[in-house]
């Protein structure tokens, strides 16, 4: 069996969907259109490019929770196979519980050489999961990368920061996260879309990956949302007219009264 490049994907509410919360303050994912998170498209693209540049790898898309839409999109783009971890006990898991489920799912995939993920999901925006996976798996993590390449058992990347770009590298197996400055995701072609619709997605519950329900789920989460209020409708800004002095005086008055 070929070594695997596993790309982590997630279904998130479409940007234009009206989002709401369940009674337990978890996100209602059933009444919205779920799509592959945009940053995950960059992760899938990176995984596919690495496979194309280095023969002998297979790309496996992996998702925890309600991620079929994301997995189908990854398959349409060119992933070789897909795995979905689904279990009622996973509902409401925080990043620690999700990372624990994913690392145990990764243990079921033979010869994982590289794990590729987006820098942060659009619905959670934490960006902590890859680092936690690195701790659980005792593997190096190269984060916030805009380019990635493989050479002689090493993964080499360029990390983008406010202070500039830095060349980083680590021995494989390793974990990499990419930003939206990485290679632009490809559009699935018709053949890929049709094949993805028919493709079999392996579905694993917690028992299949050796995870106890007591270690995941809302009741075991380290953090919990206890209340929420709707964000107020954004009002139109006030326009200031007049000459420069008049504008400056009005701005000063506005700041004083704010």
Query: Can you give the pLDDT at residue 100?
Result: 94
- pLDDT grade for 191, boundaries at 50, 70 and 90: very high
Q: Tell me the sheet residues that pair with 4.
A: 58, 112
pTM of the model: 0.82
- Structure confidence at residue 229 as a pLDDT band (50, 70, 90): confident
CATH number of 4-257: 3.40.50.620
Is the per-residue pLDDT at 47 higher than 70? yes
DSSP-assigned letters across all residues of 96-161: HHHHHHHHHHHTTSSSEEEEEEESS-TTT----HHHHHHHHHT--EEEEEEEEEEETTEEEEEEEE
Could you read off the pLDDT of 70-95 as tens digits, one per residue? 899 999 999 999 999 999 988 888 88
Please, which residues bridge with residue 35 across strands? 12
Residue 26 — pLDDT band, cuts 50, 70, 90? Answer: low
- Angstrom distance (rounded) from CA 203 to CA 201: 6
Q: Is 187 helix (H, G, I), strand (E, B) or coil?
A: coil
Tell me the pLDDT of the chain averaged across its residues: 88
pLDDT score recorded for residue 15? 64
Tell whether the model's pLDDT for residue 108 goes beyond 70.
yes
Mean pLDDT throughout 168-192? Answer: 94
Task: State CA 93 to chain mean position distance.
Answer: 15
pLDDT at 170: 96
Q: If pLDDT is split at 50, 70 and 90, which confidence band does 161 have?
A: confident
Helix/strand/coil (H/E/C) assignment for every residue in 18-52 = CCCECCCCCECCCCCCEEECHHHHHHHHHHHHHHH
Q: Locate the domains of the chain by residue range.
A: 4-257
């Amino acid at each position: 069996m070929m070594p695997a490049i596993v790309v982590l994907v997630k279904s998130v509410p479409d940007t234009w969907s009206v989002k709401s919360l369940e009674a337990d303050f978890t996100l209602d994912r059933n009444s919205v259109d779920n799509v592959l998170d945009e940053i995950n498209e960059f992760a899938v693209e990176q995984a596919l490019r690495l496979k194309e540049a280095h023969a002998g790898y297979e790309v496996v898309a992996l998702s925890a929770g309600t991620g079929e839409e994301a997995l189908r999109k990854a398959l349409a783009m060119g992933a070789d196979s897909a795995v979905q971890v689904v279990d009622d006990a996973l509902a409401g898991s925080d990043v620690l519980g999700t990372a624990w489920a994913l690392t145990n799912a990764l243990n079921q995939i033979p010869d994982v050489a590289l794990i590729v993920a987006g820098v942060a999901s659009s619905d959670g925006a934490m960006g902590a999961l890859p680092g936690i996976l690195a701790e659980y798996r005792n593997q190096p993590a190269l984060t916030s990368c805009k380019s990635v390449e493989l050479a002689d058992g090493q993964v080499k990347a360029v990390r983008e920061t406010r202070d500039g770009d830095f060349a980083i590298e680590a021995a494989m197996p390793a974990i990499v996260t990419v930003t939206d400055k990485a290679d632009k995701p490809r559009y699935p072609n018709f053949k890929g879309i049709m094949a993805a619709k028919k493709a079999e997605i392996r579905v694993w519950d917690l028992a299949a990956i050796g995870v106890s329900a007591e270690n995941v789920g809302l009741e075991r989460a380290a953090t919990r949302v206890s209340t929420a209020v709707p964000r107020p409708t954004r009002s139109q800004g006030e326009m200031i007219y007049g000459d420069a002095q008049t504008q400056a005086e009005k701005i000063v008055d506005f700041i004083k009264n704010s």
